[in-house]
Amino acid sequence: MNFSNTYCREPFSSFVEMLNSDSYLNHIFLLSVDFLLLFILLVVLVCKISLKKLLSYGIPKLSISSTIFNGCLSIGYIAFGVWKLKEQHQEYEFVVLLVHGITWLFVSSFISLCNQQTFLIVKIYSIIAFLLVVFLCITSMWKFDNVIDSTKVILNALSFVGAILLLYIGFIKESEYDETFYKPLQEFEDGIITPFANAGFLGKLSFRWLNPLMKKGKSKILEDEDVPHLRSADGAGTCFDLFNEKMDMLKRKDPLGKPSILMSILLCHKKSILISGVFALIKILTLTTGPLFLHTFIEVAQGRESFKYEGYTLTAGFFLAKCLESLAERQWHFRTRLIGLQVRSSLTAAIFHKQLHVLNAAKKTHSPGQIMNYVTVDAHKIGEFPFWFHQIWTTILQLVLVLCVMYYSIGVAASAALVIVILTVLANSPLSKLQLKYQTNLMIAQDKRLKAITEALAHMKVLKLYSWEKHFMDAINKLRSEETKWLSSVQKLKGYYLLLFWSSPILVSSATFVACYLFGVPLHVRNVFTFLASINLVQQPIRNLPDVVGAFIEAKVSLSRIVKFLEEPGMHTRDMKKQRQDDVNICINCTDVSWEMNSLKPTLKDITLDIKHGEKVAVCGEVGSGKSTLLSLILGEVPYINGTVDVYGKIAYVSQTAWIQTGTIQENILFGSNMEPQRYRQAIERSSLEKDLEILPFGDLTEIGERGNNLSGGQKQRVQLARALYQDADIYLLDDPFSAVDAHTSTSLFNDYVLGALSGKTVLLVTHQVEFLPAFDSILLTSSGKIMESGTFDELLTKSEEFQDLVNAQKTTSDPKCQEVYATKRPKEAEIEFDNNVSSEERDDVVSLKGDQLIKAEEREVGDAGLKPYIQYLKHNKGFLYFSLAVIVHSMFVVGQYIQSYKLAIGLQDSSVSRLKLIRVYTVTGFSLILFLILRSILAVKLGLGASKSVYSTLSGSLFSAPMSFFDSTPFGRMLSRVSSDLSIVDIELPFLLNYTVGSIIISYSTYVILCFFAPEVLLVIMLMIYVTILVQRYYNSSAKELMRLNGTTKSLVANHLAESISGIMTIRAFAQEGRFFLKNLEFIDKNARPIFHTFSATEWLILRLEIICTIIMSSWMLGMTSLHSGSSGLTGMAFSYGLSLNAILVWCVQCQCTIANSIISIERLEQYMRIPSEESELVQTNHPLPGWPTCGKVEIRDLKVRYRPNAPLVLQGISCTFEGGQKIGVVGRTGSGKTTLISALFRLVEPTDGKIIIDECDISTIRLHDLRLHIGIIPQDPTLFTGSVRYNLDPLSKYSDDQIWEVSFIYIYTSCLISNDSKLLTEFFCLKVLDKCQLREAVQEKEGGLDSSVLQDGSNWSMGQRQLFCLGRALLKRSRILVLDEATASIDNATDAILQKTIRLEFADCTVITVAHRIPTVMDYTKVLAISDGKLVEFDEPKKLINKEGSLFGMLVKEYWARTES
């Protein structure tokens, strides 16, 4: 039909006439442009540019392909012109075709084959050629009546592809040719780079380069080493460097402003975005030709062929157009996915790099859990956005083109469609703002929940010891409820989007048909199904709009969060300064030093200090006096200082809380340095690690669990000391490293390590062990943040009363009578011999066996899991019910659509049917279908929210009830990746993905049924192609599933390394190891990116092949319909309109399947942690002890044997003893003798292999763990504080009120509570007394908020000693009949320790107290002492008797202690 004659009543203007491909004006214009192009070429040749210079040496395959393609196209134009001359169509048109064909042949050959020396000419030529082709495409679509026009359309459409190739060649750089086509295959140490790096143009276009990996995946289970490495251009290091380069460029342009991170990302990838955009444009243009093919095909089906073989010509043109569409779309999607991967890698690297250098003050606003969220969730969301970026403008362009086709088909009635589209966009605008608000709040809530669960999982041992798991889980569940509220809002909005955009095509078609009736536009098969085919083609982009909007909003929110973190101020790089002439290593001159900005009370004040090279300086003082802060000041960790700190020389640092990396002992000692055997052996010997390594199953190659959880506290400190010594630094900062070891080991370390190995080094040692102080050149006595005194030991002993009190406190901590006993029996100093053969291994904590390392490779499913993970997901909270109903509703929706189209097709052929009635039936049916969409949206939201709640509840319950052995052997990052990224996928993506996938499968297979129904003759071809499709998908799945699972496991490596680096950031900075850790992070990012890259490449590989199969099916169907029989044109139009969208439906279907196959891996991973065996059997969970238990506190240990894992050696070997109620029991032994295991068995952190522990006639293995742990008090070895307030850390269960606790005087509270009998005031009085007794009252009162003053994560704003005092405060509040002290005062000075010991004796006078101690005086006045050696009970008696006993282990420990003290 000629639109210009039918619907346009006004005469043509000259411009419109030029658009008519049959007009003389059009012919003259084309001839002019062709002659211009030939003239330019002639000028180039006349200027005597030799052909050798013009032509490229080593012509790339892309240029060859372009030359062949455009050459064939030129021949096509010439042949068409000859045919026109022969048939005598339009007198002069054949001239235009012949000239254009010849011109195109010369122009395309010149652009394709010329050298880079003519680069400007090539650019100009390619631009003119492209503009000419665009003009030809527009004019050919303007008039489209017969086969002649259709042939011209096909030639012009193909010339558009040729012009795109020429434009690409014209603007590509020479270096890119070299890299793309001639770069040799790069080899890595452990693998080969991806074949993509060396693939040619056709190989990249067809994804043939992926065939070797797919073949390998079919023959075996893919492992990490089977996945090729990325190209260097795609590596995290390259991406990060490019990102920094663009950031620096923006900074140079605007030195005063902050460079835009978004602009930097765009600048990094602008060329890739442009190229992918060109492919997107080709896809949209070729896709839009479909309705035009349909228009002509219906005419052929109606028997109105223009020439004999028109059906075959249409089929061939359709096949070529669809192949071109498929190739373009695959490159579009592949390249945008690659951009997303590069963006994700660069942002992940930037976040890690920032956290290595960010100020400590930033931790208040960016907790470790939040930083983890930035990497695992936010960077992922931003990386997903480039895939959707081009959808924004291509959807608009496709709508415009479709509206043009509609206008071509039905004229002014298309305005109704335009109105509906505009209304849909307007309805979406407020929803987008709401989604932005909901998404922002969801991420904030997610951060809070992740922060809390991170803290809980990191300190699970403490939670179990205090029986706080349920309380913390409830607190996290409250945060989860807040998160679920916003998740519900986000999901409901997505459901609304689902309804709005799925119903809009129905509304568009209904409104348009009504407009046709109102405007009097005739409805017949050709224009109706051309219109409906256009609607079908645009349905998918419209349905994708919710995902596009959602991806945009999620990326916007995530980017703002990451930008906020990346813009935090960083630390100044500490350069190692050269030695000063006066030999000073450390020079400090500061008036105020504070961890907080504008703090009213600085942590340190008036610090003036000069330490010369080789000096040994000790720092001692009361708890919280600023000793550790002084070391942090030297390290440059304290953010706010008023003054100068100069450090000259390389620093080695040993932290008070040992930080150990996951890995071998050797890796921890070397810490990135090269192995030098002699220096390494000396570091081990001087750190007293030889005996430990002898007993460890793999020696120094034994893997240490995360945070060193399979080493004792003393072993961890000694590994730290060995690490520091191996670095051969100039300055050694040692923060109380000897508090975790026994007297013998600490003496050995001090003599061999500090005085021996570090004899020529500058040493600054923080210590509470005053017996070492005489050996130091200088001693700094700190108090209240000031250096009160400094001098030698003798000088301070003479002039400082505070120092005298500190020294004398050690003598008063023990019973004087015991000292007398020892004094009468002690040998001469020369006669004291230390038994160097006694093991220093804490065998109770070594849980690895020979041949079996503690940390296993992460568990992952292998092979085809089938429907198992989907069933696991749907079994949660009525999931099967909601899903089944959703499938039924969607099936009814699809069937309803076919019925609607069928009735329309039949009605259009029946002239007796009223058009009004036909439109009414169509519209009513359409509105009925919207009801099914409403139901489907509701069911999808219900399914998602219900499953999210159930999955989280099961996961958290499983984690919090897991045994300690699980946490010991599971890296922290593995748990975090599941509770962050995996859970986020289940929350947000999975429910709608499941619905989309099932819906797409139903639609695609129902389309096959429609095609078979109307052309049964090609049923065999269709069935064969479907069979091939299934085979190809199975071939793909064997590799793709393993790649997706590898993505999950390698993702955990990134998370684990990040978590580990955050916790040890001070040590990393102190040793200037930021660079090495960053490179390791880049390695892990690339390791994770490899399976991601090959996963989405494999998806495009699959879709391309399936699309070709679909094109074959559709082409076969067209041949069948035209060649074998002539059927109803209405039904043919209906079938063709659905068949045209078959490729789009299939792409959508496969993409949904691949995406959900990737996402469902999260359910597999979560399921692994949802079925962790509980540490308590169901039978015991119902057994409660008698009320008031324990009443006496009697503890009986009967033949107790403990091993940590089956077939592991026994750690405790048949210990039997009885602690009577009210007795004070000291547990002593060498480091690693089994003391901590005995305490663990008492709290059932590890279950006995044999024997039992009975408390007050009750076997503890038969009662609930919660009851057992709740009724036993403990002050653990590792003092732990949680984020919150002082009040919360003393009493997390909120049993005591603290309103206005500091506003009322001590006596007033006590008097008031007696007079009024007010329990609230009484508890306030009790809390205040507790703070006073545990020596924290003054420290808390100095804080601005008092009891409400903040405690940062891990208690980082409180000293180690203060943290131990908090733990004592908890015990005083709990007041249990049995109290366990596990090295409870190791980090406290002797004076404070003496006071606390008296407090414990007074407050727990009637209680059973079990104390594990290295400070021997602590247990000298105890009722009995239990001595353990190598897991065996050596002796159990009163201290005085054991001292007098020959060969007594306890007597030997006492001798060692006093020998050290008096030396």
Helix (H) or strand (E) holding 1424: strand 1424-1429
CB-neighbour burial class of residue 1068 (10 A; exposed 0-12, middle 13-18, buried 19+): buried
User: What dihedral angle (degrees, nearest 10) is formed by the CA atoms of 443, 448, 453, 454?
Assistant: 90
964, 866, 968, 960: which is closest to 1169 by C-alpha? 960
Q: Which helix (H) or strand (E) holds 30?
A: helix 24-46
For residue 838, the model assigns a pLDDT of 33
Give the DSSP H/E element, type plus range, for residue 932. Answer: helix 915-960
Q: What is the DSSP letter of 1406?
A: T
CA–CA dist 1257, 447 (Å, integer): 47
Query: Which range is most confident: 700-704, 889-893, 1113-1117, 1151-1155?
Result: 889-893
Hey, which of 97-106, 755-764, 1294-1303 has the most confident mean pLDDT? 755-764
State the pairing for strand pair 1212-1219/1195-1202: antiparallel
Q: What are the residues whose beta carbons fall under 8 Å from the beta carbon of 1357, sequence distance 6 or more?
A: 595, 596, 1350, 1351
How far apart are the C-alpha atoms of 938 and 539, rounded to whole Å?
21
pLDDT for position 180: 36
- Which of 199, 163, 544 is CA-nearest to residue 324? 163
- What residues does 1200 pair with on adjacent strands? 1215
Which residues contact residue 260 at a Cβ distance below 8 angstroms, ignoring those fewer than 6 apart? 250
Hey, is 132 helix, strand or coil? helix
pLDDT tens-digit map of 24-45: 667 777 777 777 777 777 666 5
Other CB atoms within 10 A of residue 909 CB? 14
CB of 66 closer than 8 Å to CB of 165: yes
Distance separating alpha carbons of residues 1267 and 1270, to the nearest angstrom? 5
Q: 1111 vs 578, which has greater pLDDT? A: 1111
**Residue 1463's pLDDT is what?**
53
**Tokens at 249, concatenated:** 């460029």
Query: Are the C-beta atoms of residues 53 and 117 closer than 8 Å to each other?
Result: yes
Edge to edge, what strands does the sheet with 1250-1255 contain? 1212-1219, 1195-1202, 1250-1255, 1258-1259
What Cα–Cα distance (Å) separates residue 44 from each residue in 48, 71, 126? 7, 21, 15
Average pLDDT over residues 146-158: 65
The overall pTM is greater than 0.85: no
Is the per-residue pLDDT at 118 higher than 70? Answer: no
The residue count of the chain comes to 1463
232-244 pLDDT, tens digit per residue, is 999 999 999 999 9
Coil vs helix vs strand at 808: helix
Residue type, 897: Q
Cα(764)–Cα(755) distance, integer angstroms? 12
Q: How far apart are CA 521 and CA 515, in angstroms?
A: 8
pLDDT classification of 433: cutoffs 50, 70, 90: confident
- Measure Cα distances from 13 to 25, 267, 404, 427, 1022 in Å: 12, 44, 20, 39, 50
Q: What is the residue type of 581?
A: Q
pLDDT, average across residues 598-610: 83
pLDDT over 60 (residue 604): yes
Eight-class DSSP state of 1224: E
Residue 1327 has pLDDT above 80, yes or no: no
Residue 1183 has phi, psi (to 5 degrees) of: -90, 115
Mean pLDDT, rounded, for 659-672: 89
What is the per-residue pLDDT across 1357-1407, written as a single tens digit (0 to 9) for each?
787 778 878 888 888 888 888 999 887 766 676 767 777 777 788 888 889
Q: 């093919």: which residue's tokens?
A: 293
Q: Which of 310-324, 530-544, 677-691, 721-735 has the lowest mean pLDDT?
A: 530-544
Both tokens of 862, joined, read 């292998």
DSSP strands (E only) in 468-622: 584-594, 604-612, 616-621
DSSP-based three-state secondary structure for 1191: coil
Rounded Cα distance, 699 and 946, in Å: 50
Alpha-carbon distance of 1163 to 384, in angstroms, equals 20
Measure the CA–CA gap between 39 and 44, rounded to whole angstroms.
9
Q: Lowest-pLDDT range, 34-48, 428-442, 799-813?
A: 34-48
- 818-868 pLDDT, tens digit per residue, is 444 444 343 333 232 333 333 333 333 433 334 455 556 666 666 667 788
What is residue 1258's three-state secondary structure?
strand
Please check whether residue 1422 is in contact with residue 1220, taking contact to mean a CB–CB distance below 8 angstroms: no
* Amino acid present at 1406: D
SS (H, E, C) 448-497: HHHHHHHHHHHCHHHHHHHCCHHHHHHHHHHHHHHHHHHHHHHHHHHHHH
Q: Position 974: which residue type? A: R
Say which residue, 1215 or 403, is predicted with more confidence.
Answer: 1215
3-state secondary structure of 1201: strand
Give the rounded percent of residues in the chain with a pLDDT score beyond 70: 81
Query: Is 1103 or 49 the better-scoring residue by pLDDT?
Result: 1103
The conformation of residue 1223, written as its DSSP 8-state character, comes to -
List, in sequence order, every residue forming a beta bridge with 604; answer none if it has no partner.
593
State the pLDDT confidence band at 302, using cuts at 50, 70 and 90.
low
The band of 47, judged by pLDDT with boundaries at 50, 70 and 90, is low
Cβ contact 1283:369 at 8 Å: no
Say how far apart CA 403 and CA 1266 lie, in whole Å.
69
Q: What is the enclosing helix (H) or strand (E) of 645?
A: strand 640-647
Is 1331:1372 a contact under the CB 8 Å cutoff?
A: no
Alpha-carbon distance 1317 to 1326, whole Å? 14
Of the candidates 1054, 1043, 1027, the one whose C-alpha atom is nearest the C-alpha of residue 1157 is 1043
Q: In the block, which residue shows the tokens 């709740």?
A: 1270
Integer CA distances (angstroms), 344 to 242, 338, 1383, in order = 13, 10, 46
Whole-number Cα distances in Å, 346 to 242, 566, 624, 1062: 9, 12, 41, 19
Model confidence pLDDT, tens digit, residues 1231-1241: 677 888 898 89
Provide the mean pLDDT of the chain: 79
More confident residue, 499 or 1305: 499
Per-residue pLDDT at 818 = 42
Cis peptide leading into 1190, omega within 30 of 0? yes
Q: What pairs with residue 193 in β-bridges?
A: 229
Question: What sign results for the dihedral spanned by CA atoms 509, 514, 520, 522?
Answer: positive
Of 964, 972, 988, 977, nearest to 1166 by C-alpha is 977
Residue 140 has what pLDDT?
Answer: 67
